[in-house]
Structures are given as structure tokens and as C-alpha cells.
Amino acid sequence: MANASTAHHDDHHDHHPTGLARWLFSTNHKELGTLYLIFSLAMFLVGGAMALVIRAELFAPGLQLVNPEFFNQMTTMHALVMIFGAVMPAFVGLANWMVPLMIGAPDMALPRMNNWSFWILPFAFTLLLSTLFMPSGGPSAGWTLYPPLSLQGGNSLAFVILAIHLMGISSIMGAINIIATILNMRAPGMTLLRMPLFVWTWLITAFLLIAVMPVLAGAVTMLLTDRFFGTSFFNAAGGGDPVLYQHIFWFFGHPEVYILILPAFGIVSEIIPTFARKPLFGYTAMVYATASIAFLSFIVWAHHMFTVGMPLGAMLFFMYATMVIAVPTGVKIFNWIATMWRGSMTFETPMLFALGFVVMFTIGGLSGLMLAIVPTNFQYHDTYFVVAHFHYVLVSGAVYAIMAGVYYWLPKWTGHMYDEKLGKIHFWWSTIWVNVLFFPQHYLGLAGMPRRIPDYAVQFAEFNMISSIGGFMYGFGQLLFVYIIWKCVRGGEKATAQVWDGARGLEWTVPSPAPLHTFDTPPLVDDKVAVHADRLT
């Protein structure tokens, strides 16, 4: 500790605190990236354990394990932990590690803020998870916290709201840092249209975060004052409007959905060209498609609430706007396939996860298109069809992309190759069971099973049992992922700087493992070094 506080600014290359202090006081983008990723993995396991409680209760009709109130706490917490604790910090962790390496910057632009944005998170989640042990229990109104239901709970709501505020502060600071880094710290010659697509998608995501996290903060603050200070923003009896909350929430919520998927697009756009040994097809179109999706994400929010009773004109607008998103999303999928087309492909674990992403994200995208159609949405809404849809895009979408990214960059981080055989087993195991887990949920939704119920009519029994078996197999299979990472950190075949023979970009010009400080002298970037060569041919 004393060491750290007396360390002199100029000799940071020589002195580095060790032990706990190294991690507590670190301002290094690589160490903070590692912290983010470890935190995210821990939350992935916590949120996964909650999912297993849900699937265990739903294994058979009747209540066997938990009471309905606790079941609702599990569905609520599972979502909050997975979204804010697992997926978002994983993307921030990857950005922390890779954005400076990809644009030739020595670190993030605001290293101390970087430290703070990470270290808020453990406190935020301690607050959030502690509500489960309070007398009134954790939040149980769903992660969307719709009033009036969310206002019926006990005092734990205040803790949940404060936790959400902390997560928001962390996200906004992280986003500011990423924007400042990308706009100010690119190496000479690294023009915007030479940036790797992962950097581009994160730049756009960061703007989304800054735009919508304050909206969420406003919404939950109004909940807080309604619950504890006698206001009536959402209380109809006091002249308020419960539907207003839904509009505000989803104005945050829909861009949030893209916050959870745009960086995934970026990761996949890095990996497919590497293993196809062919430049990304339509780089410029990919950038514009990402920007279009981000823009459209602000004008489609009410498609989450078609059943609240909106005017016909509003429903038509939100339906058409939602359908339009299929166009830029389609462009992305077609461009990935065109990148693969006539490439020279190999199928290492990162490529397998990236291809799994493309297939299953497409399935989730197509069911999303079905959900956009208002008259059929009146049937699908709030059923397991929706649950299947968003788990396809979030688990076999976002989480698959994160895993692809981890396998892809793990040798760069640790200096060791991971166990390729185990990686492939992890992929095939996950892919089989994730489909057993989520595909039958489409059938359940179409057959009429509402979501967020702890028990169901017996005609839903078979597919629920299949889904639960898939859930347990998929869930426990993820322990293999933890083991593979642990094994790779401990040792293994030495990785070269290049790691993958088809890889391009600045991150592959530094040694593996990447030393604590890289690009103290900025590299010179020209079209030969730049990852994407779209404009050259």
C-alpha cells in the first residue's frame, strides 16, 4: 500500500504495486480489462445458477422447489445479473484490453476513471445481490421493474435502484473513456475508416450508452420517489400513468439491446476474416450498417409494449420502423457470409463460436422479425416465444461472441495457447445443449405458455422438461470454459506474437503475452497494417 501511494509518476515502468494493491489501484487498461473479464465470468456463473433454479422448478408441472415469490426474484435477478453483470462488463473488459491495442494507443485516455468505473461494479452487485437476504426479499417484478407491481415490494427496491444507479455511472464513465480513447489516441495514420470493426462497433455502442443510461436512471429515480417520497409519476390514482414508465424504460431498453449486441458484431467481424484468410467483405457497409442500427434503435422502443393499447398510427409506425432494422442487420449477415465465401477457412475454437453466433443470431433475428408484426405480436407477446427469441440473440448471440473473443485473444493475453481440443469440445457441447435449451421454448410460446410463471399446465410438460435438461447440460458445460481459461493462464504451448496466421491488425504486432505497457511510441499505420482493406480493391 505504502509502495503504491509513494510511487512516483514518472517511473511507473519500474515500480508496480503487487498483491491486492496491484489490482485495487491499477490504472492499466490491460489489468482493468482482466478485472472486468473475471468479474463478468463470476457474474455469468451467479446468473447461471439462478437460471438453473428457474429451470429446475420448471422441470415438471407443480411447485417442487421454490415458492412463486422466490421464483419471481430469480427471474428478475437472473436478468439483471446477466445483462448488467455478465454481458456488459465482458464487452467493456474486451474493449479495455483490445481497443488501445487495436488503435495503437499506450492506454485508455482516462486511466484513473477507468479504475473507478470498474471498482464501482463489485459494490453495485453486492448491493443488488444483498437484497436476496433481506426480509422482504429481492426485487420480484421482473428486470423491467414495471410499476405498480415493482412498488408493492419491500424496502429492498431502494437498494436495487441504487445498484442500478451505480451500474449506470460505471457504464457511462466506461463509455466516455472509450469515446475519448478512440477519438483522441489513435496512432498516426489510423484514420477512422482504418479502424478495426470491433473499435467501430464499440465507438457507436459508447454513444448509445451515454444517450440511454441517464434515461434508465431517470425512470428508476421516479420509481424511487413514487415508492418512498409520495410522488405519483406512475400511480394512476394520483394522476400518474403506469404506461409512461414503460415508454421511458424501453426508450432506454431498446438501445440497451443493441448495446448488448453491437460489440458482438464487432468481435465476429474480426474473427471471421482471420480464419477465412480473406479481408472483411464490405467494411464500409458494415460501419454504416452498425450506425443505422444504432440510429433505428431509438425509434422502435414501443415494439416491446404493443399490447398496452396504443393508437393504430403509433403501432404502425413502430412496426414499420422495427421491420426496417432487418435491412442493416441482413447486410451484416450477408457480409459475413461473403467474407467466408471463397476464403481458405479453418475452424479453430474462436471461428467455431463466431460461426455458431452467425447461425443462431440469424435464427434469433428471424424470430425477431416475426415479433415485429403487430397482429401476431399480440399472440407472441409475453410468452415463451419471446423468451426463446431473446435468449437466441443474447446467449447464442452475445455470449457466443464474447466466448469467441476470449478464445481469439486469450493467447495474446496469457502468452499461451489454450487447449484447442477442449475448446472444440466446449463449443460442440454448448451448441448442442443451448439449442435443446432454447429451441423448444418457441413451441411452448406458440402453444400458449406465458413467460415468468413458476408452474404450468400439463400440456407444456414435455417441452419444459427437454428445455430444462438442455439448461442443466449447457450450464454445467460452462465449467469447462472456466477450466480451459484457468489452464491457459497457468501454462501451455507458447503463443507467438502473430498467434493466428490469418490475423491482421496492430494487436498482433506486440508480443504475447502483451507486456503491461505497449505502444509507448505510437506505431505508424498505413493501409498495409490496417485490418480492413475494403477501399483498396
Partner 1 sequence: MKRTNELIVALAVMAVIIVIVWGVFAVGDNMPRGVTAYAQSVYQLHNTILGIVTVIGVLVFTAMFTSIVVHRRSKGYQAAKFSHSTKAEIVWTAIPVVILVVMAIPATRVLIEMENTAGAEMNVKITGYQWLWKYEYVEDGISFFSAMDRESNRARQLGSGINPRDVENYLLEVDNRLVLPTNTRIRFLLTADDVIHSWWVPELGWKRDAIPGMINEAWTKIEEEGIFRGQCAELCGADHGFMPIVVEAVSPEAFQAWVAEQRQDLADAAHDAARLWTREELMSHGERVYQAQCASCHQGDGGGLEPAFPALVRDGMPTGDLETHIYTVLNGREGTAMAGFRDRLQPQDIAAALTFTRNAWNDGAGEVVQPATVARRDQG
Binding segment for partner 1 (CB under 8 A), chosen from 78-86, 108-116, 137-145, 409-417, is 137-145
Work out whether 135 is an interface residue with partner 1 (CB under 8 A).
Answer: yes
304 is an active site residue: yes
Contact indicator for 254, 212 with CB cutoff of 8 Å: no
Q: Angle, nearest 10°, between helix axes 29-57 and 111-130?
A: 20
Work out whether 299 is an interface residue with partner 1 (CB under 8 A).
Answer: no
Of the candidates 179, 355, 393, 398, which one interacts with partner 1 according to CB under 8 A?
355
Per DSSP, the residues of 415-440 read: SB---HHHHHHHHHHHHHHHHHHHHH
Per CB under 8 A, contacts with partner 1 among 235-274 are 236-237, 240-243
Shortest distance, position 196 Cβ to partner 1, whole Å: 14
Work out whether 64 is an interface residue with partner 1 (CB under 8 A).
Answer: yes
381 is an active site residue: no
Contact indicator for 260, 391 with CB cutoff of 8 Å: no
Per CB under 8 A, contacts with partner 1 among 358-377 are 358-359, 362-363, 366-367, 369-370, 373-376
Work out whether 230 is an interface residue with partner 1 (CB under 8 A).
Answer: no
Shortest distance, position 244 Cβ to partner 1, whole Å: 11
Gyration radius from the chain CA atoms: 23
Determine whether 498 is exposed, middle or buried from the number of CB atoms within 10 Å of its CB (0-12, 13-18, 19+). middle
Work out whether 381 is an interface residue with partner 1 (CB under 8 A).
Answer: yes
Binding segment for partner 1 (CB under 8 A), chosen from 22-30, 208-216, 456-464, 482-490, is 456-464
Among the options 29, 186, 332, 504, which is catalytic?
A: 332
Of 388, 364, 476, 471, the closest CA to residue 426 belongs to 476
Of 257, 381, 246, the closest CA to residue 319 belongs to 381
Among the options 31, 57, 226, 256, which is catalytic?
A: 256
Q: Is 450 helix (H, G, I), strand (E, B) or coil?
A: strand
Of 455, 394, 456, 404, the closest CA to residue 427 belongs to 404
The 10 Å CB-count burial string (b at 16+, else e) for 287-297 is: bebbbbbbebb
Shortest distance, position 102 Cβ to partner 1, whole Å: 19
Per CB under 8 A, contacts with partner 1 among 459-488 are 461, 463
258 is an active site residue: yes
Work out whether 448 is an interface residue with partner 1 (CB under 8 A).
Answer: yes
| Vertex 37 angle, CA 32 and 41, to 5° | 150
Work out whether 353 is an interface residue with partner 1 (CB under 8 A).
Answer: no
Per CB under 8 A, contacts with partner 1 among 327-346 are 327, 330-331, 333-334, 337-338, 340-346
| Vertex 180 angle, CA 189 and 287, to 5° | 60
407 is an active site residue: no
d(CA 482, CA 45): 10
Outline where 185-304 has alpha helix (H).
197-228, 242-259, 262-276, 283-296
Which residues have C-beta within 8 Å of that of residue 57, sequence separation ≥ 6?
63, 64, 65, 66, 71, 454, 455
424 is an active site residue: no
Q: Which is nearer to partner 1, 24 or 314 (CB)?
A: 314
Which residues have C-beta within 8 Å of that of residue 483, sequence separation ≥ 6?
422
Of the candidates 78, 391, 416, 532, which one interacts with partner 1 according to CB under 8 A?
532
416, β-bridge pairs:
494
Which residues have C-beta within 8 Å of that of residue 285, sequence separation ≥ 6?
331, 335
Of the candidates 285, 291, 422, 465, which one interacts with partner 1 according to CB under 8 A?
285
Among the options 254, 278, 442, 504, which is catalytic?
A: 254
170 is an active site residue: yes
Q: Which is nearer to partner 1, 488 or 531 (CB)?
A: 531
Among the options 34, 76, 170, 468, which is catalytic?
A: 170
Contact indicator for 15, 110 with CB cutoff of 8 Å: no
Per CB under 8 A, contacts with partner 1 among 496-515 are none
30 is an active site residue: no
Per CB under 8 A, contacts with partner 1 among 44-63 are 61-63
332 is an active site residue: yes
Of the candidates 281, 318, 390, 427, which one interacts with partner 1 according to CB under 8 A?
281
Per CB under 8 A, contacts with partner 1 among 427-446 are 439-440, 442-444, 446
DSSP state of 64: -
**Amino acid type, 366:** L
Work out whether 314 is an interface residue with partner 1 (CB under 8 A).
Answer: no
Work out whether 291 is an interface residue with partner 1 (CB under 8 A).
Answer: no
Work out whether 72 is an interface residue with partner 1 (CB under 8 A).
Answer: yes
Binding residues for partner 1, rule CB under 8 A, total 104
Among the options 117, 140, 269, 396, which is catalytic?
A: 269
Work out whether 2 is an interface residue with partner 1 (CB under 8 A).
Answer: no
Work out whether 379 is an interface residue with partner 1 (CB under 8 A).
Answer: yes
What is the four-CA torsion angle of 187, 189, 190, 191, rounded to 10 degrees? 130
Among the options 30, 78, 278, 426, which is catalytic?
A: 78
Contact indicator for 127, 166 with CB cutoff of 8 Å: yes
Q: Is 97 helix (H, G, I), strand (E, B) or coil?
A: helix
Shortest distance, position 3 Cβ to partner 1, whole Å: 49
178 to 217: interface string for partner 1, x by CB under 8 A: ----------------------------------------
Per CB under 8 A, contacts with partner 1 among 138-167 are 140-142, 146, 148-149, 152, 154
Q: Which is nearer to partner 1, 347 or 476 (CB)?
A: 347
* Active-site amino acid positions: 78, 107, 143, 170-171, 254, 256, 258, 269, 303-304, 329, 332, 451
